[in-house]
Chains A and B, each alone.
Chain A
Amino acid sequence: MTGTTLTRGYVIIWIWLLALMTVSLFANTLPVSRPAIVTLMFVVAAVKAVLVALNFMHLRLEAWLIYAIATAPMLLVFGLMLALFPDFVLPR
């Protein structure tokens, strides 16, 4: 991982992040349904998170072990949230 070659890449990623932020800021004005807007916002957030993780955190240069450490908790959080749905969200 050498810094010199990546620096220009970092600027591009930063610009992407700001552009995506702008998209989610103005998503509320889009002429589509509310669930679609919310979905868009979280897809955008996920893309931003992946951009930061892959580039700024250099995940794309890492070994499989680091990938595993990074993704396992995400899956667990997702599973936890789904398991909570019957009790708190779904109608009885």
Chain B
Amino acid sequence: MSHASPTVTAVRGPHEATGFFRTYLYATDHKMIARQYLLLGLIMAVVGGYLSYAMRWQLAWPDTEVPGFGFVGPETYNVLVTNHGTIMVFFVAMPILLGSFGNFLIPLMIGARDMAFPRLNALSFWLLALGSAVVLVSFLVPGGAASAGWTGYPPLSAKAEYTGVDWGLTLWLLAHAIEFAAFLLGGVNFLTTIVTMRAPGLGFGRLPLIIWQQATAAILFLLSVGPLIAGAIMLLMDRIVGTGFFLPERGGEPLLWQHLFWFFGHPEVYVVLLPALGAVLEIFPVFSRKPIFGYTLVVWATIVAGALSFIVWAHHMFVSGMDPRLAMPFSITTILISVPFALAVFAMIASLYRGSIAFELPMLWALAFLAMFTTGGLTGIFLGSAPSDIYLNGTYFVVAHFHYTLISAVIFGGYAGIYYWFPKMFGRMLGTRLGQLHFWSTLVSFNVVFFPLHWIGIAGMVRRIANPLQYDMIAPHQWINVVSTVALFGLVASQLVFFVNFFVSQLRGRPAPANPWEATTLEWTTPSPPPHGNWGEALPVVGRGPYEYSVPGATRDWLPQRTGAAAAEARP
């Protein structure tokens, strides 16, 4: 089955990690670090999901005791909103989509033995773990956790008196500074690995698309986070030292924070989206047995979208009191950025067209991503243009919009990737029965949770209010909140199905062959799971592009990127 031979043990290169400490704690193997990121992301997802449960309960049945949480009320509600948002974006989406997928796939897909800086890689992960710990600790300090919204706008966030939260908010800022440092170092590692460690024959034009997307995401993060770190330093100075950078009464500029925040904030949504898009782009050719439509087009769409993402940020600020002269240019760039994404979506649809589609689990998640992401993208057009945004800004329409885009990335794209690469990562197949249950229940309950929120948003329910019944205009629509919350119970329950499946399959799943999906990219030519050093004695040599399916005249419908005997042996 695999190309492993007895001589593999004599491989030159890093020594196999031995002992509990080297294997699990001070691990430098990219595959172990990827698993660590995945586990950390899933743990934090439980925390973030728990917060959303308490939040939705409060919205459906305001000011009643939440089972398993307690009384919420306005102050705690602010804590829930703030921490649900930041935990899900920074401690769930990024660890899973960048940390785990990036670390696992980059060396395997480019034919390297590890990342460029393995110890730095371990440092990145443990910094992230530290940041997660600081976030969790911030719930326990006197005054409670941060409650100034996930955007942390000053002046509200600049003084402890304004929110009543002193150390909680400072720790929250600190945790995110640590998280930024972790992913900065991680991004440096990703980019260096991709630039310098590709296998012989693997030019940029032969890179699997997800590598392009991971690289673009890393660049976006690297180049956008600096101004926000600068802003965070200034905000910390305001809180701790007593400066007045963002305090109007001291001559400061609160609006400056919004600019610095969203200069990062908008590229950040693509940092999360692009790796998920990449995972889906990997999956479509495999399960429709067709090459991707327009490889070069998708690469350029990714690069152009990445470049444009730096000049759209003020569309988050149309009602912030910023100079109205900025609204027009930023509306235009925002509408413009839908062009490359539309191209990518069309390329995906064209890749499916007349393919022999196999509805395996990864493909189901990928198709759901396509549908849900398109829905979220369409509502984005309403929000990107200033006139309609002025009405919709800050309502549940926005909440529905970004959950459709971000959940399609993190949940649908993320699960697509997890179901697809699980056999390679853990050496066993993920159970399909529970997998089917998980997929269908998630798809249905997700839509029932979030689609009605568009309506209640248009009806005028704004974000971050703890008790919708206080407002006469929303009270008649309260049934929407109840429906959404009840559906959330279903959404949470379906994730429990996944957790059971995930852990049981790791122990009892069917052993995975090297290439269960008959895919072409390099990672499928190693055993599942790949050994330390990935490739045995010789590095792989790449002979062709990544998506050579159904090539006319070939003896089978897929031609692996890797040339030589190992590629042929890897047939299931």
Q: Which residues of A contact B (CB under 8 A)?
A: 65, 72-73, 76, 79-80, 83-84, 86-88, 90, 92
**Measured between C-beta atoms, what is the minimum distance from A85 to chain B in Å?**
9
B233 at the binding interface (Cβ < 8 Å)? no
Contacting residues, chain B, for A72 (C-beta < 8 A): 223
A16 to B393, CA, bound (A): 55
Mark out the residues of chain B between 296 and 315 whose CB falls within 8 Å of any chain A CB in the assembled complex: 310-311, 314
B325 at the binding interface (Cβ < 8 Å)? yes
Contacting residues, chain B, for A65 (C-beta < 8 A): 195
Closest chain A residue to B329, Cβ basis: A83
**Measured between C-beta atoms, what is the minimum distance from A84 to chain B in Å?**
6
B270 at the binding interface (Cβ < 8 Å)? no
A84 to B323, CA, bound (A): 10
Further contacts, 10 of them, CB under 8 A, given A76-B223, A83-B259, A83-B314? A79-B310, A80-B227, A83-B326, A84-B256, A84-B259, A86-B325, A87-B255, A87-B259, A87-B322, A88-B253
A79 to B325, CA, bound (A): 16
Q: Majority SS of interface residues in chain B? A: helix
Contacting residues, chain B, for A90 (C-beta < 8 A): 323
Closest chain B residue to A92, Cβ basis: B323
Contacting residues, chain B, for A86 (C-beta < 8 A): 322-323, 325-326
User: If A86-B326, A87-B322 touch, does A80 touch B263 (CB 8 Å cutoff)?
Assistant: yes
Judge whether B326 and A87 touch: CB under 8 Å.
yes
Residue from A73, A79, A88 within 8 A of B311 (CB atoms): A79
Contacting residues, chain B, for A79 (C-beta < 8 A): 310-311
**Measured between C-beta atoms, what is the minimum distance from B132 to chain A in Å?**
29
A65 to B215, CA, bound (A): 14
User: If A65-B195, A80-B263 touch, does A88 touch B310 (CB 8 Å cutoff)?
Assistant: no
Contacting residues, chain A, for B253 (C-beta < 8 A): 88
Contacting residues, chain B, for A76 (C-beta < 8 A): 223, 310
**Measured between C-beta atoms, what is the minimum distance from A43 to chain B in Å?**
25
Question: Can you list 26 A-B contacts (CB < 8 A)?
Answer: A72-B223, A73-B223, A73-B226, A76-B223, A76-B310, A79-B310, A79-B311, A80-B227, A80-B263, A83-B259, A83-B311, A83-B326, A84-B256, A84-B259, A86-B322, A86-B323, A86-B325, A87-B255, A87-B259, A87-B322, A87-B323, A87-B326, A88-B253, A88-B255, A88-B256, A92-B323
Give how many A-B residue pairs fall within 8 Å (CB-CB): 31
**Measured between C-beta atoms, what is the minimum distance from B35 to chain A in Å?**
31
**Measured between C-beta atoms, what is the minimum distance from A68 to chain B in Å?**
10
**Measured between C-beta atoms, what is the minimum distance from B472 to chain A in Å?**
36
Closest chain A residue to B320, Cβ basis: A87
A84 to B262, CA, bound (A): 12
A13 to B244, CA, bound (A): 41
Contacting residues, chain A, for B263 (C-beta < 8 A): 80
Closest chain A residue to B253, Cβ basis: A88
Contacting residues, chain B, for A73 (C-beta < 8 A): 223, 226
A47 to B107, CA, bound (A): 40
Residue in B256, B314, B323, B326 whose Cβ sees the most chain A Cβ within 10 Å: B323
**Measured between C-beta atoms, what is the minimum distance from B387 to chain A in Å?**
19
A86 to B324, CA, bound (A): 9
Contacting residues, chain A, for B227 (C-beta < 8 A): 80
**Measured between C-beta atoms, what is the minimum distance from B419 to chain A in Å?**
36
Closest chain A residue to B325, Cβ basis: A86
Closest chain A residue to B191, Cβ basis: A69
Closest chain B residue to A72, Cβ basis: B223
Contacting residues, chain A, for B256 (C-beta < 8 A): 84, 88
A88 to B256, CA, bound (A): 8
Closest chain A residue to B195, Cβ basis: A65
**Measured between C-beta atoms, what is the minimum distance from B217 to chain A in Å?**
15
**Measured between C-beta atoms, what is the minimum distance from B320 to chain A in Å?**
9
Contacting residues, chain A, for B310 (C-beta < 8 A): 76, 79
A87 to B326, CA, bound (A): 9
**Measured between C-beta atoms, what is the minimum distance from B478 to chain A in Å?**
39
A80 to B311, CA, bound (A): 9
**Measured between C-beta atoms, what is the minimum distance from A32 to chain B in Å?**
31
**Measured between C-beta atoms, what is the minimum distance from B221 to chain A in Å?**
13
